[in-house]
Structure formats: C-alpha cells, structure tokens
Structure 1
Amino acid sequence: MTRWATLRWLDGTRLARRDGDEYVVYARSGVADLFHQLPGMSEGIGRVPVAEADHAPLSPTPSRVICVGLNYADHIAEMGRERPTHPTLFTKFASTLAGAYDDLPLPDVSAHVDWEAELALVIGAPAYRLSPADALGAIGGYTVANDVSMRDWQRRTTQWLAGKAFDATTPLGPELVTPDEVDHARDLAVTCLLDGVVRQLGRTSDLVFAPADIVSYVSQFTRLEPGDVLLTGTPGGVGAATDDGLVAGQVLETHVEGIGVCRNFVVADLAATTVEEAS
C-alpha cells in the first residue's frame, strides 16, 4: 500500500512518498519518474509534514492529457445525449493542470465556469494498441481531478477544446494511489461539493467505459507513455444542467473514495487583477 505525491520543493518539483503523517522527498521531479529506471530513489533528500506540503499537479508535465466526456449514464441523461458506442474524447494541455489545493482562478472572459468531479489515472508503462486486459497493466495508479469547464467557450462550436483548456483550471492530486489499493477503481464514490453542499455523487462502477477500456481505446491511435494522464468522465450534477456556475469565494471539493480530496478556493481572475493593478 503506497501513496505518492509531487511536491513543490525549493527550485522545482520533487517526488514524495507518504510515510504516515510525513512525506519522504526524493531527488526526482515527480510521479512519472516512478515508472522509469532512474537513479535517486535509494534514499530521501528530506521530509515534510503532510499538513505543510505544497502539492504540485500530480503529473506536472505529461505528454498527453486525454479526457472522456459523457461516460456516466446519469450525466448522459441530464445532458440529453445518447449513450455512446465509443469513448467521447478531448484533450487538455499540461498547462491546464493545477495542484490539489491551489486557488482556482475564474477566467474573466467566461460567464459560466462549471465543475466536473472525476477519477483520473496515470499511465505507468508504455501502451500501444493494447487489449483491455493488457491495458490494465499499463495503469500506474489513480488520483482525483476536476475538469473545470468554461461552458460558454465550450458551446461556441461543436469542438469542446476551448472550454476545457484554460490554464491552471484542472486540479490533479493530491496523491497517486497504486491500483492494488483500490481494486483498479472498480466501485468508488466520486463526489463534488460546493461550499460543503453535495452537487455530484456517482460511482465508478457506473462508468460506461472502464479505465482499462479507455486506455485500450486511446492506445489504438497514440502511444501512451509513463506520466500521461487520462480523466475518465464525470457523474450527473454538473452546473450546465441547471445553468449554475462557480463564483469567487466558494470552495470546490472533489472527492474520490479511498484516494483523496482536491480542495480549491475559487478566486477572481488573477491575470485580470494583475492587468488592472498595472493600469
């Protein structure tokens, strides 16, 4: 039973292993290094209390961030869509990722910012054109994400990218949990709370496409590498179904049972504030 994190540390990021109420910090840059034969893992370079750790995005610089939309039956229904026969995919950039406890800035160019609690997985071994059975072995571990979405930008065209790819809007972490600890996330509760009120509650057993199915499908067209991140979809209860959205001052919490919690304070657009101060 092992849990790993990526922490901000001095002049960069470092891999850390959970040891009770502390993290042991290693001379490696993040969780992707777990899956490579690299030096620097024989002993730690420091320790930090868990309560004082500064979490970077769990996989800070993945080559690929690939997400599945419309993957829970209740979410498909609330959006008025048909059950898909293949995974509905879109991509993000590494710059969209944020730490599990980072402030979440509301882009002032968007009028409708929405939440999407998700189970995420990190690839642990190269995966190319794998069957679902073989794809299971390529999953290095599981974590928590929230696919915070700018709905007005998402709806401008039939392509979702613009509404999903704003910088620093996808909390990822705080820890990577090994597959054996959570039975490959076969039946875990996924919950989103806004100011302590439950807005989403689903179970990973209700996924239309399970993690191994997703990895297998994606691996048919791109070679997945260790450290790549896949988001598996969100259950019903998104703000898009009720025209609700995030506002500054709220606290967004994303829970995945047995894995952890992202807790993000919603703030005004930091870039816009900087521009106003400069003028």
Structure 2
Amino acid sequence: MTTDAGLGRIEDGAVALLDTAFPHIGVVLEQEGSLRCLASCAVRRRIPIDEATLVAPLGRPRAVWGVGLNYVSKAARTGRGLPEQPILYLAASSGVSAPGAQVVIPQAAAEPDYEGEIAVVVGRRLYRANESEVWPAIAGITAANDMTARDVMRTTSVPALAKSYPGFTPLGPSLRTPDDLSDRDTIRVRTLVNGELVQDDTSAGMIFPVPDLLSRLSWFTALEPGDVVLTGTPAGTGQDRACFLADGDEVRVEVDGVLPLITRVVRPEDASLRDHRLTEPVS
C-alpha cells in the first residue's frame, strides 16, 4: 500500500494531489508570496475527501495575531462599548493544531472556551500599509477556533497566556483565495458545538473590518508571508452562554468557501496530571 502526501486542491468532493515539492502552504508563501503558482501544477492523483487525512496546511506559522472584541454582536452581549482601537495580542504559534485534532484541556484551565473565527493568511509583506493594500497582499482565508481559558484570562489579564496552551489554536484544513470570495465584506462564520448552532455572523459585523484591522496592525509590526491574523469572534461563545467545553465535546467552525474545521476536546481525569494553576494575587 502506498501513501501519497503533499498539497492538494479541493475539486468536486475530492483532493487533487498536486505535483509539487512544497511541503505546505507556509513555504509556498515564503517563496512565492501567493498561491498562484499552484494553479499550473499537474495533478498526480485524486483522492475522495472522506478517504484523505487532512493536516495543517500552513505548517507552523511564524506569528499568530488576534484581536479581542471585534464584533458588534459580541460587544453588545458583553455590555461593553465599542473599542476605539483594536485590542491586539500575539499568541504562541506552538498552540497551532491540525484540523480534526484532539485538544487536551489542561487541569489549569477550568473554563475552556471556543471562538469561531475567520483567519486571514498573509501572502506578501505588509508594513505601514494603507487599507487599499491589504486585500491584494492576503493569500487566503480559513477557519480558526481561537480557544481561550476564560479563567486564566480573568486571573492574569494576559490573552497570550489564556490562548497559548498546546492545541488551543486549531486552523482550518483548506484555504480560499480572496479572488474566489463572492463578497469579501460579508464572509460568514458559524460555530456548532455537538451539532448545536451557537455562533452565526458575517464579517460585516466586525468593528474593525479586515483591511482596517491589518492596516492598523502593520503600523506596529511587519506582517510577513505565512503570518496568520485571527479577526475576532461574534456573540455566542461559551462565555456568553455560561457553558464551557467539557470532555468529549466537538466544535465545528464553518467559514464561507473553506472546509469545516472540527476540533475534539479531551480532558484527562488522571489525578496524577498536576498543572501549575495561576492564582489571584494577594492584596
């Protein structure tokens, strides 16, 4: 039995395995700045999607940026005013996990939460960019589940700590290029937990739309090919519902034009697994 591996295109319910030496999309973007070079690659083999094992298409991104409170619906649910500037953070890229992977919740995280999001993948370097320069520099979008330990966030006030546990940043199994989007301003994102629809919104509900968000970010840092920017989550998180993730839960994030991202949650009951828990400072 032979095993084929490599990059592929989604075509008519199958993966068209491409004749290319690129190991993953991250390397393509580092060398080419876009995915256009893959359009001319010959197809080695077609594999039905249900027979293919899909792995992280981006490899390990150099940087994963995120933004808090970037949907009007989320701000309304929390009762907070709209921020005047994006609430930005940088999460550890070691938290990125493959689509379909199990995410082990550490004992230190008492309130693990899901956040269905549209992830933007940078194709060309953006630094001090105007809004009009952003979409032409984007290689594609995908689905993301920006998982957050709400109790750790509350205790530390540091998003990077609450979001950087291993596996806490699952990224989708496929990318959609901007040219293939019917409407870049109304990209839909939906989240289902154990089959129940809990989040449903579009990018039209963003407080800082994609061009504005990446432009603002680029005036503080250079966004490089392969970098990922998570664009925020709408209302309907476990925080909003007072219902956090438990052992055996399945989270499905759907973003227009890409394959769904499925994450399965595991919480070991082994009492010998002891994690350091950050506690409230003594005043």
How does the TM-score come out when normalised to structure 1?
Answer: 0.86
1:72 aligns with 2:64: no
1:183–1:273 Cα change, 3 Å: farther
CA apart distance, 1:42: 4.6
Q: 2:16 corresponds to which residue?
A: 23
The answer for unaligned runs of 5 or more in structure 2 is 275-283
Q: How many residues align?
A: 265
The answer for unaligned runs of 5 or more in structure 1 is 1-8
CA apart distance, 1:108: 2.0
Q: How much is the aligned-residue C-alpha RMSD, in angstroms?
A: 2.5
CA contact 2:8–2:15 (8 Å) conserved in 1: no
1:273–1:255 Cα change, 3 Å: farther
Tell me which stretches of 4 or more aligned residues in structure 1 moved more than 4 Å. Answer: 38-47, 272-276
Q: 1:241 corresponds to which residue?
A: 240
CA apart distance, 1:143: 0.5
CA apart distance, 1:269: 4.1
Give the residue type in structure 1 aligned to 2:17: V
How does the TM-score come out when normalised to structure 2?
Answer: 0.85
Correspondence list, 1:1-279, <5 A: 14-20=6-12, 21-25=14-18, 26-35=20-29, 36-37=31-32, 42-43=41-42, 48-183=47-182, 185-269=184-268
Q: 2:280 corresponds to which residue?
A: none
CA distance in structure 2 between the partners assigned to 1:147 and 1:269 by the alignment? 21
CA distance in structure 1 between the partners assigned to 2:214 and 2:165 by the alignment? 24
1:100–1:273 Cα change, 3 Å: farther
CA apart distance, 1:232: 0.3
CA contact 1:72–1:234 (8 Å) conserved in 2: yes
Q: What CA deviation, in whole Å up to 9, does each residue of 1:94-113 have, x standing for no partner?
A: 21111121122222221111
Q: 2:279 corresponds to which residue?
A: none
Between stretches 153-162 and 61-70, larger displacement belongs to 153-162
CA distance in structure 1 between the partners assigned to 2:268 and 2:127 by the alignment? 39
1:168–1:194 Cα change, 3 Å: same
